[in-house]
Each structure stands twice: as C-alpha cells, then as structure tokens.
Amino acid sequence: MGIIERIKEIEAEMARTQKNKATEYHLGQLKAKIAKLRTQLLEPPKGSSGGGDGFEVTKYGHGRVALIGFPSVGKSTLLTMLTGTHSEAASYEFTTLTCIPGVIHYNGTKIQLLDLPGIIEGASEGKGRGRQVIAVAKSSDLVLMVLDASKSEGHRQILTKELEAVGLRLNKRPPQIYFKKKKTGGISFNTTAPLTRIDEKLSYQILHEYKIHNAEVLFREDATVDDFIDVIEGNRKYIKCVYVYNKIDVVGIDDVDRLARQPNSIVISCNLKLNLDRLLARMWDEMGLVRVYSKPQGQQPDFDEPFVLSADRGGCTVEDFCNHVHRTLVKDMKYALVWGTSARHYPQHCGLAHRLEDEDVVQIVKKKEREEGGRGRFKTHSNAPARIADREKKAPLKQ
C-alpha cells in the first residue's frame, strides 16, 4: 500500500470515529500518523540526488509575493497590470505552465511578484505540478490567493487545505510551545497555562508515535493537538496571506460588499482596473517593509536610495541597519542619531537595540581612535602598570 492510500485510509477512519472524551487519544494518534506520512510524501525518493524539475527563480528585490489560485482566475492578467511583464493569458485553463517573475516598483522599493501555474485539488499529492508551485510559495514573504468572485466559496477552503497539507500555515503565528529533544532523562512535561484541548497523557502518546522518549515540553498557551504536532515536525512555514477576489464586475454589489468585509480579503477587477491601488497598499502593509534613509555627518540625508528592512528578513533594529550598510560597522559604532516616528525627540541618541520605523533617518557616529602616545606632557594614557601610572614623571615643557 502506497503512502497516499495509507493517508486516505487513516482519514476515512477519522471520519467514521465519533469525537468524544473517550476517543480523543485515538484521534490524536491518527493525526500524528497522518503528519508523519505527509512529511514522507514530500521527501525526495531514496537514491535520488534531490534535484527536481522545479521552476524556482532567483530572489530579487526587497520582498517576494507569490500568486496562487485555480486556473483561469486572472493571475497572469494581474501580473501584467502590476509589473508590466508579459504573461500569456487566454480563455483556456493552464495557460501558464512555469513560474513567470515580475518586479513592482512601489514606494521606492522593488517587490518581486511571481505568477505560478494554477493548482488543482490534490496538489499536495503531486497532481498538476502542485508540489513545485507550493515549494515556491514557501520561499515567499506573502501569498496572494487569487479567487474568482463569481464561483463558489469552496475554492478558498480547497486551496487552504492543500497548502496546510504540505506545511504552510496561512495567517497564523507559531504556537507558544517549547520543545527540545534530549538523549536521556525521559520526558519532562510542564505548562504555564491551563490546557483544555490536550493533556499530558495525549502528549506522551504523540511523542511515542514519533519514537521520542526523551524530551522537554513546555506549553505557554492553550494549544491544540495539531499545534503540538507542528512543533514536533519543525518544518512548518507561517506566512501571511491576502485573499484577492477578482472579476467583481460580473457579480452583484451585495456579493462584492460581503466579500470585501471578510478578514484578510480585498476585491479587484483586472478587466476594469478597479481597486488595484488598494491592493498594492494592502501588500505593502502586510509585508511590513521599513525604509531607512542614511545621513552622512555634516550632509543632507540621502532620500534617493533607502535601506529596506523587514521583520521577516533579519529585523528592523539599528544593528540590522548597520549590517545592511557594512558588516564591520557594528564594531565601530559609538551611537546612532535617529530622526523619525520612532524617536522621542529630534535627534535621539540610540543604541543597537533601538527599533526603527518607516522613513526614519539614521546617522551613525563612530568611535574615535585614540592616539598611541598622546601629545607632549599631557598624554592621555600610559603603558606603565596602573599603580604607578599616575606617578609617572612627565617630560619638561620646551622653552
């Protein structure tokens, strides 16, 4: 029996099992088995070199956005309108067969936009080049799930299920669970919050399913069984997602209003060029890019070429800004002068841990190198031991 057949058999067993207090341990073990099998499904076959016929493109710009959706929902048209890059669009499905990159120039930054082939139900099992598409989505900073406003709402659930089956968690934060394997000592289980959806016995059974008998486990929140399995697997990607409903010009105004009020959703029309500027602004807010302008000492700030920071790519502190400029600047920095919304007053003296905000101006003040010998009889330091350095005889002043 293959891996896919075993997964379907376990899913069928879970579907016919009643959910109550007596069966929660059995269901937890079945969920762990499915997670293990899906991880094996994504691994390359034994004996292969690991390389595949993927279509990964080189990262470019200050951020990466992936377009994911069913065939013929308008992904290629949206890429052409936002970036100017030509992507073939036609009335038949699977027009796009490979990954087509484009660049959006917005607010002085460069954002890479990827048009991916349409995925279908069963993509997590490899249907329709689904694995390659999802692999590219994992390397993105933001996912735009393009949906057809005139079709059923079930497309959103199908796509979300396919992405979650391969370890992509949309609009979720990592669970507050500390987990570390050990060589000896058994399993240490602790919690700082009351648990209502998982207990110590169920945690032990899940760990034994993974053949883990020595580990430290600490729950900092009321997590679920799925959250605990995600932490044990350790290969989950938590990524932001915006649901983009295209073709709103073919549905009624009531449906448009209902879709626009859903969380993390935005409505557009590529045919009539409606609401595209709002889509760009929403992408900018979700990616959290921070533009920082450098100011050389005694000169005006350079507003032409900002340094772009983000929490997903390193961080947004003064130390991260120094690393962007040059890797040795952190050692030479004495303090930083900051102008902008993150400063309490202008300018504010800040250290390496200060968190910068969008459109801040930063001037780095370096440490001064001390002269080796000082000047005349007033030299600043001595090479003698500390106990006699203050009694060292100075040279007489020249007449």
Residues 78 and 198 in one domain: no
Six token digits for residue 337: 């002068």
The pLDDT of 184-188, averaged and rounded, is 91
Residues 150 and 222 in one domain: no
Q: What is the pLDDT of residues 16-62, one digit of tens each?
A: 888 887 788 888 888 888 888 877 776 655 555 454 555 567 788 88
Looking at residue 140, the DSSP 8-state letter turns out to be -
Of the candidates 65, 259, 260, the one whose C-alpha atom is nearest the C-alpha of residue 144 is: 65
Residues 114 and 29 in one domain: no
Structural domain count, the chain: 3
Burial level of 306, CB count in 10 A (0-12/13-18/19+)?
A: buried
Residues 201 and 148 in one domain: no
Residues 208 and 332 in one domain: no
Residue 314 region by backbone torsions, left for phi larger than 0, else alpha for psi between -120 and 50, else beta: left
Q: What is the pLDDT of residues 198-235, one digit of tens each?
A: 889 999 999 999 999 999 999 999 999 999 999 998 88
Residues 183 and 299 in one domain: no
Q: What are the helix (H) ranges across the chain?
A: 3-15, 24-42, 75-83, 130-138, 154-165, 200-209, 225-233, 253-260, 276-287, 318-325, 329-332, 386-389
Question: Residue 399 domain-assigned?
Answer: no
Residues 200 and 96 in one domain: no
Residue 138 pLDDT level (bands cut at 50, 70, 90): confident
Six token digits for residue 391: 């009694």
- H/E run at residue 186: none
Question: Residue 50 domain-assigned?
Answer: no
Work out the mean pLDDT of the chain and round it to a whole number. 83
Question: Residue 385 domain-assigned?
Answer: no
Question: Residue 208 domain-assigned?
Answer: yes
Residues 189 and 309 in one domain: no
Q: What is the pLDDT of residues 152-184, one digit of tens each?
A: 678 888 888 888 887 889 999 999 999 999 999
Q: Give the SS3 label for residue 13.
A: helix
Of the candidates 259, 212, 250, the one whose C-alpha atom is nearest the C-alpha of residue 231 is: 212
Residues 157 and 80 in one domain: yes
pTM of the predicted model as reported, rounded to 2 decimal places: 0.79
Residues 167 and 78 in one domain: yes
- Give me the pLDDT at residue 168, please: 86
Domain region containing 201: 3-42+175-233
- Give me the pLDDT at residue 92, please: 47
Question: Residue 215 domain-assigned?
Answer: yes
Could you tell me the CATH number of the domain that includes residue 297? 3.10.20.30
Q: Taking 90 as the threshold, does the pLDDT of residue 313 lie above it?
A: no
- Give me the pLDDT at residue 131, please: 67
Q: What is the pLDDT of residues 78-133, one digit of tens each?
A: 988 998 877 666 554 555 567 888 899 998 899 999 888 777 666 566 565 566 77
Residues 229 and 252 in one domain: no
φ, ψ (nearest 5 deg) of residue 339: -115, 140
Residues 162 and 282 in one domain: yes
How far is the CA of 256 from the CAs of 72, 157, 247, in angstroms? Answer: 20, 19, 10
- Give me the pLDDT at residue 18, please: 85
The pLDDT of 268-282, averaged and rounded, is 91
